Structure 1
Amino acid sequence: MRLRDTVAVVTGGGTGIGRATALALADAGAAGVVVNYSRSADDADATVAALAQRGCTAVAERADIADDALVRAMADRVRDRFGRVDVLVNNAATTYRAAHEDLDGLTDEAFARVLDVNVLGPFRVVRAFAADLRAAGGAVVNIGSISGYRASGSSIAYGVSKAALTQLTRNLAVALAPEVRVNTVAPGTVATRWQTDLHGVTGFAERARAERETIPLRRTSTPEHVAQAVLGLLAMDQVTGESVILDGGKHVTY
C-alpha cells in the first residue's frame, strides 16, 4: 500500500503512539489525517498543527469511541470533508488500575468500561468506516498490547481487552476481505505519558531501566518505534489477520 495522497483516521491521535503514527503517516505522504480524541483537545490541536507544518491537511475530531452515535457522526463529517478513507489506526484505549490478585478491586463497571472502549470501540470505528475502507482498498491497524498475550499489565480487564482485540483483528480480517486488510501491533513497554501516569516519572524510569537490562535489544520502545511497525504493516499487501509484537524481543525470553 502506498500512502502518498491517502486519507487516514487515527483514534487517540493527539498523544503518544497516536501522535507519532499520525506524524509518520504525514511524513510518508498522506494527504489528510484525522486526529480523533475524546478529552485532550489541546494535544489534538497541537498534533494537527504539527501535521500542517508537514504539508498535510489535518483535522481534530472529538468523539468518544464508546459512543456509537458519536463515532458515526464523526465518520459522516470525515466523509464530507475528505470524500474517502484509506487507513484506519485504532489506537484509542483506556485502562483501570487494579492488582491482579485484588479481584474485588476490579468492579463490574470498571471491567465493562475497559471492554467497551478497548474492544467494542475499535469495532464501532471499523463499522462506521467499513464502506469507505472497502471502496479504497484500504487497511486497518489496531494497537494491541503484550498484555493480551501474558498475565501482566495494569489490570486483568486491560489484558483481557487486548487479547479480545487480537481476536477481533482476525475476525475483521476475514469479514472485510478481500478489499481491506486488518492487522495488529502489540507493544510491550513504550515510553509514553500513559506509563508515567500509571507509575510516575521516577517509577517508570526505574522500571524501564531494569527492563532494559534483561531484554535482547536493551532499549525501551518509543512511540516512533510503534509508528514504524504500523507503517510496515500498511506496506505489506499480502498480510492480514496478523499481530506483530514490539517489545525489543522480551517475549522470546519469558
Structure 2
Amino acid sequence: MDLHGKIALVTGGGTGIGRATSLALAKRGAVVAVNYSRSREDAEETVRLIANDGGRAIAIQADVSQDEQVRRMAEAVAGHFGAIHLLVNNASTTRHIPLDDLEAATDDVWDELFDVNVKGMFHCARAVAPFMKESRQGAIVNIGSIAGQTGLGSSLPYAVSKSAVHGLTLSLARALAPHIRVNAVLPGAVATRWWAGREEQMNRLVPRLLLKQIATPDDIAQLICAALEQEAMTGQLITVDSGQTM
C-alpha cells in the first residue's frame, strides 16, 4: 500500500515509538491523527514537528481504555479527513513489579494493564474498522512485545497482556479479512522513556544482544511502516529485538 495521502491514526503518538511512527508516516506522505490520553503537550509537539516538515497532522485526545471515547475519536478523525486507512495501536502502559512478587500483581494492576494494552487495542480496531471497510482497504499494526513471548518483562501482568495482544492480532486478522490487514510488531528493548531511571540496567543488556545495540524508536517505526505497506501480509507477529530472543 502506498501510504501517501492515507489517513493514519497513531495511538499514544506523542512520545517514544508513537512519535517516531507519526513522523515516519508523515514523511511517507500520510496524514496523521496523533492520539494522546494525558500527554497533550507531547502530542502537540509531534504535530508541530510534522507541520514544520511540510506534513499534515492533528492531535486528538481519547483514553483508549474507554470505548465511547475511542468511538468519538474515530468519528472525529474520519469526519475531519474523510476516511481512516491506517491504525497503529501503540498506546500501552505498564507497572514495574518484580516478576516473583505475585502479591504486588493486584487486581487493580491487572485491570489497568488489560484495559489499556488489550481492550484498548480492540476498542480502536473496532472503531476504525467500518471506515476501513468503506474504503475497501485498511491496515492495522498492533505493538506487542517480546515480553509476550518470553514471559519476562517489566511485570508479570504486562508480559501476559502483551501475549494477549499477539492473540488479538491473529483473531482480528481473521475477523477483518479480506479488506483489512492486521499484523503486530514485537519490539525488544527500545531506548524510550520507559527506561528512565533504569539506564544502567538497559546498558547491562547490550552485551547480551547479538547486534550489541538497543533499538531506537526510529528502528521500530520503520518496521511499522513496512508492515502497513506490505499488502500480501496479515496475521503476522514480527520481532525486532537486536537478536535478544535468539
Q: Would you call these one fold, judging by a TM-score over 0.5?
A: yes
- 2:15 is the alignment partner of 1:2: no
Tell me the number of residue pairs that the alignment of Structure 1 and Structure 2 aligns: 245
Alpha-carbon distance in 1 for matches of 2:210, 2:132: 38
Deviation at 1:177, TM superposition (A): 0.2
The 3-state SS of whatever aligns with 1:245 is: strand
Deviation at 1:207, TM superposition (A): 2.3
Equivalent residue, structure 2, for 1:16: 16
What amino acid is the match of 1:122?
M
| Structure 1: 5+ residue stretches without partners | none
Alpha-carbon distance in 2 for matches of 1:149, 1:91: 18
Deviation at 1:101, TM superposition (A): 1.1
Alpha-carbon distance in 2 for matches of 1:105, 1:55: 47
Deviation at 1:210, TM superposition (A): 2.1
Alpha-carbon distance in 1 for matches of 2:9, 2:189: 24
The 3-state SS of whatever aligns with 1:94 is: coil
Q: Which moved more, 1:110-119 or 1:208-217?
A: 208-217
The 3-state SS of whatever aligns with 2:245 is: helix
Structure-to-structure mapping, 1:88-107, within 5 angstroms:
88-107=87-106
Alpha-carbon distance in 2 for matches of 1:62, 1:185: 24
Alpha-carbon distance in 2 for matches of 1:208, 1:93: 20
- Alpha-carbon RMSD across the aligned residues, in angstroms, is 0.9
TM-score, normalised on structure 1?
0.94
Equivalent residue, structure 1, for 2:183: 183
Equivalent of residue 208 in structure 1, options 202, 206, 213? 202
Q: Which moved more, 1:227-236 or 1:17-26?
A: 227-236
Structure-to-structure mapping, 1:18-57, within 5 angstroms:
18-30=18-30, 32-57=31-56
Equivalent residue, structure 1, for 2:140: 140
Deviation at 1:195, TM superposition (A): 1.6
The 3-state SS of whatever aligns with 1:218 is: coil
Equivalent residue, structure 1, for 2:72: 73
| Structure 2: 5+ residue stretches without partners | none
The 3-state SS of whatever aligns with 2:130 is: helix
Alpha-carbon distance in 1 for matches of 2:155, 2:207: 25
What amino acid is the match of 1:225?
D
1:136-181 deviation digits (Å, cap 9, x = unpaired) = 3010000111100012111111000000000000000000000010
TM-score, normalised on structure 2?
0.97
Residue 133 of structure 2 contacts residue 180 of structure 2 at CA under 8 Å; is this kept in 1? yes
Equivalent residue, structure 2, for 1:218: 212
Residue 195 of structure 2 contacts residue 202 of structure 2 at CA under 8 Å; is this kept in 1? no
Alpha-carbon distance in 2 for matches of 1:195, 1:146: 16
Equivalent of residue 237 in structure 2, options 243, 246, 249? 243
Deviation at 1:208, TM superposition (A): 2.7
